[in-house]
Amino acid sequence: MKVRHTGTVAVAVAVLGTALAACGVQPTGVVGAGEPASGLTRGIRLYYASPSGLRGVPVLDRKVESLDGVLKLLGQEPPPAEQRDGLTSLVELGGYSATGKGTRVTVRVEGPYREATPAQGTGQLVCTLARAQSVFDPKVRADDVEVTLRPSEGDPLGPYRCAEFRGG
């Protein structure tokens, strides 16, 4: 003799379904969170100008051993992928050299210092060199580095911190 438990099974499924549906978790859609994560990672980053401000690009394919080496890279155009994203370099290097000790970086500029676009060109220099100094001296935080520009013609500029150019 076969006993049918269809009614019992149906009631159990209904009770279980109600319990799961009432657990308090609401469905959500896509949550807009803005720009991708951009927390500070270790390693050299070159900062480029964009319509929305400065953006750091990691240097993954080259070994850089000095602040002058970082300046040399910054004087070149951004990689093609970054150019397609609207990044550009406003830094025109011709006779720049940089030295750093602890939280201080000094950039010597031959002649007067000229900036094509207010703030972003200087910001590129400051943020790139601050980041590099913190890589070369691991006891130093990039946010603590102060960069001074010393043109051979005109008054020194700075000291500047990267946060001044990142809006924070």
Q: Look up residue 163 and give its DSSP letter.
A: G
126: enclosing H helix or E strand: helix 120-136
Taking only the tens of pLDDT, the chain with its 168 residues reads: 555 556 565 555 555 555 545 555 455 555 555 544 444 456 899 999 998 889 999 988 788 889 999 999 988 889 898 989 999 888 877 788 999 999 999 999 888 777 655 588 899 999 999 999 999 999 999 999 999 999 988 889 899 999 998 864
Sheet holding 146-151, edge to edge: 96-101, 104-109, 146-151, 157-160
Amino acid at 64: V
Instruction: Parse the chain into domains and list their residue ranges.
Output: 45-164
Cα–Cα distances (Å) from 43 to 25, 150, 155, in that order, read 41, 26, 32
d(CA 121, CA 115): 6
pTM, two decimals, is 0.72
